[in-house]
Amino acid sequence: MYVNATEKGGLTSYYDSHIHTEHSHDSVCSVDSMCEAAISCGLKGIAFTDHCETNKGISACLKVIKGLKSDVKRARDIFGDKLEISLGIELGQPHHDLSLSHELLCDGEIDFVIGSLHHARGQQDYYYIDYDHEDIDMIMYRYYDELMELVECGCYDVIGHINYQLRYMSAVARNRGDLSKYYRELGAILDVVAKNNKGIEINSSGLWRGIDLTLPPLEVIKMFRAVGGEIVTTGSDSHDASHVGAAIDSAVECLRDAGFERCAFFKQRKPIFKAI
């Protein structure tokens, strides 16, 4: 299913709305290098979404946003005639610190906010969990409880990589955590997202990281459509230039397979719909 988009060079009319740069703690790539990579693989637009983790505090988040703003402003001057560039953030655990989240979201220059759950309260990032030796059901139900809190708090435009933990599970653990067991919880969460006119993203990182699944997987995207969801963005979650646009064509294919005819790209916190 997965085609290396950056080598293919034919992503005209596609958007990558989830990209990290050196303003995130886990990337060393510049905004300019990401723009150059996006243009070379033919993307129509990109959104920079550097990490603002609420548990790191307000000054750390403001520092990220300040640095990104200045780089995006310059990048728009250089690349703006070839590439649509949005300034976003990936807001981690907004429901853990509502006053911080509201303060960040008052910033009128921010185009796009991905709300993500990287760890449950008092727990480590899902990246560090040893799924082969833990109770998967407990982890998943805790995740859905907190995801419901996140979607109800409203501090986001789209929910980031639903079922994030699948990215780090072994194949055996993924079978034990078969998503169909949790459709009731997932359905209730997606219903709140749709009713509040918010969206979800199709995160293609599972494809280019080799688990052969988008996050969330196709069945969940279909469920979002079934409850009346309309806003879906596509993003690679790239932390380096070589993965900008990676598997975005497959994410768009997945969106079509789920019955959608358009994808969203955010400007000034509003979705602009693009035919796919």
Interacting residue ranges for Zn ion, rule: CB under 5 A: 90, 116, 237
Q: How far is the CB of 261 from Zn ion (least distance, A)?
A: 26
State which amino acid sits at residue 116: S
Token couple for 243: 């993965």
Least Cβ distance, residue 18 to Zn ion (angstroms) = 6
For residues 16 and 90, which CB has a smaller minimum distance to Zn ion in the complex? 90
Nearer to Zn ion, 37 or 78 (CB): 37
**Residue 192 and residue 205: Cα distance in Å, rounded?**
25
* Cβ atoms 188, 180 nearer than 8 A: no
Find out whether 103 and 58 touch, Cβ atoms under 8 Å.
yes
In the bound state with Zn ion, the residue whose beta carbon lies nearer, of 14 and 48, is 48
CB of 237: closest distance to Zn ion in angstroms? 4
Residue 176: count of CB within 10 angstroms of its CB? 16
Q: Which is nearer to Zn ion, 176 or 209 (CB)?
A: 209
Give ∠ CA 31-37-40 in degrees, rounded to 5: 140
Element (H, E) at 176: helix 171-176
Nearer to Zn ion, 22 or 90 (CB): 90
Q: Rounding to the nearest 10 degrees, give the CA dihedral for residues 142, 146, 147, 150.
A: 180
Shortest gap between Cβ of 163 and Zn ion (angstroms)?
12
Task: Decide whether 92 or 229 has the Cβ nearer to Zn ion.
Answer: 92
Contact 188, 151 (CB under 8 A): no
The Cα–Cα gap between 121 and 5 comes to 36
Residue 234 CB, nearest approach to Zn ion (Å): 13
Alpha-carbon dihedral sign for residues 261, 266, 267, 270: positive
Please name every residue paired with 217 in a beta bridge, in sequence order, or none if there are none: none
Cβ at position 268, least distance to Zn ion in Å: 21
